[in-house]
A and B are shown apart, each in its own frame.
Chain A
Amino acid sequence: MSIKRPSDLPSSAITPESLYFDRRGFLAAAGALAISAALPGCASADDDPKATGTPFGLQKDDRPTPWADVTNYNNFYEFGLEKTDPAANSGAYKPTPWAVTVDGMVEKPARYQLEDFLKPSKLEDRIYRHRCVEAWSMVVPWRGIPLADVLKRAAPTGQAKYVMFTTVFAPDTMPGLRAPVLTWPYTEGLRLDEAMHPLVMLATGVYGRDLPNQNGAPLRLVVPWKYGFKGIKAINRITLTDKMPDTAWNLAAPDEYGFYANVNPEVDHPRWSQHKERRIGEFAKRPTLPFNGYAESVASLYAGMDLRKNF
């Protein structure tokens, strides 16, 4: 993976690549080409990059959500509570260099530089459905590696039952950490068998680009059949454990956000229904699908469980 973004540039000034790769933008870009090639960050036009990747679980009318929405409608409370805050307030945040620790109940605990952490796996582009617990949804072309690769390499011991993820705690560049809105650092967790499922990704990119800061750079979790808050961002620690880990939203409001958080139209959030969802960019609401449309591949993980109780 290449992280060649000059980190002192505001994110708003970046992403001119589309200009000179997009045919429609070619003429406009031609004049500025010499300059922009030498100095990425001076063009301001930003056409949608192409969504490429293998679709997983997409319904027949699912189209990738535009780049502008994917990168400007985010919940990332470390940078503020409004959906546009993460894009606006993450300019000073530095996703590089980055180290990831894998520890706990594993045969081979280690602290990796991100490049080394990713090197053994092949980066894949996959298009997934994304459903937020707030009843909106997107379709996102992620780039990343299967989490199972990482776990297998670490070799969980026989006692390991859960995987806990931790977000970096960087109060200097994450203004949201000043408010005690959640228990910082943000943590999330999966049961080990969920974590090993081939659909679970550690994403490093979106739309074929490195993750923008607001989307969880440089490494985030993607679990397409669970509500979006399970997709912990800016991960710097992965810990195998035998106890169900504390998770940020469950600590904040245990009656509203469970550990499993599987997308389930039959189980309401206490304050709103989960029957339907608004796809960002669409007017009419869509029905929400069990396990967000991935029931066929994941429902068996929860055989015999009361999903109303284990929400």
Chain B
Amino acid sequence: MSIREPRWFGWALLALCCVPGLVAAYGVGSDLLLGTRHFGSNPIKAGEHFLGDWTLRFLVATLAVTPLRQLTGLHWLARHRRKLGLAAFAYLMLHWLVYALLDVQLDWGELLRDLAKRPYIMIGMTGLVLMIPLAVTSTQNMMRKLGRRWTTLHRLVYVIAFLGTMHFWMSVKKDVTEPAIYAAIFAVLGLYRLVQWRRRWLRARPAMAAGCGCGAPQACGRVVEP
């Protein structure tokens, strides 16, 4: 399949990434300042959850790019993966800001107690901290500078997806349907990669036997001619 990238695609995607944020800003802002109920009777909690949901959704979108690209042949999708990853990071920061500023209202004692005593907060914060280096190294420049280490570093996204799902799972009061759905989606996306890696590894074996010798568990691309 070879549908070429529409020229507006990047901008449209960027605009779409902003929509949930604008919805939250308008809804929660209006509820707090004007007494409307767009986000219900407890807009701070609802907004906090809304932003957390979108963090996970953008993580799903980020991790879905590669399979989608490979299955559809729309390889230009890869160029937009960074946007989705950064959107996930932005929503994660907003989620945390609403928690710290509006929910706990910068009660530092409470924030520290939460962090020390509540496993789901620890797990969520670990995910947040791990995501910072990924956001920082998301530029072209950093990609070039880090080379292969960039790929290794950015594998952290799987850990982050796992932590995010755990955080959600442990924070719900009783019904774990929604976190279970995220867990299932991430599991499928992870499994897809495992299958791909295994396939590439099997294909690369003869080349390695022929003496590339770099020891990579997958094709390093430097196939030695016999």
Point out the residues of chain B lying under 8 angstroms from A69, CB to CB.
37, 41
* Bound Cα distance from A84 to B118, whole angstroms: 28
Q: How many residues of B contact A (CB 8 A)?
A: 22
Point out the residues of chain B lying under 8 angstroms from A283, CB to CB.
32, 44, 102
Cβ-defined contact, A275 with B41, below 8 A: no
Cβ-defined contact, A273 with B41, below 8 A: no
Q: Give chain B interface residues in 153-208, CB to chain A under 8 Å.
A: 170-171, 173-175
Question: Considering only CB atoms, which chain B residue lies closest to A182 in the complex?
Answer: B174
Chain A's nearest CB lies how many Å from the CB of B169? 12
Cβ-defined contact, B44 with A271, below 8 A: no
Point out the residues of chain B lying under 8 angstroms from A285, CB to CB.
105
Cβ-defined contact, B118 with A272, below 8 A: yes
* Bound Cα distance from A300 to B4, whole angstroms: 76
Q: Check B5 for interface membership: any CB of A closer than 8 A.
A: no
Question: Considering only CB atoms, which chain A residue lies closest to B37 in the complex?
Answer: A68
Q: Check B42 for interface membership: any CB of A closer than 8 A.
A: yes
Cβ-defined contact, B110 with A252, below 8 A: no
Cβ-defined contact, A280 with B42, below 8 A: yes
* Bound Cα distance from A85 to B117, whole angstroms: 32
* Bound Cα distance from A300 to B178, whole angstroms: 43
Chain A's nearest CB lies how many Å from the CB of B44? 7
Cβ-defined contact, A253 with B174, below 8 A: yes
Given A271-B120, A283-B32: A72 in contact with B37 (beta carbons within 8 A): yes
Chain A's nearest CB lies how many Å from the CB of B50? 12
* Bound Cα distance from A68 to B40, whole angstroms: 10
Q: Provide the A60-78 mask, 1 if CB < 8 A to any CB of B, else 0.
A: 0000000011001100010
Chain A's nearest CB lies how many Å from the CB of B226? 62
Select which of A83, A136, A181, A253 is within 8 A of B175 by beta carbon: A181
Cβ-defined contact, B170 with A83, below 8 A: no
Cβ-defined contact, A271 with B40, below 8 A: no
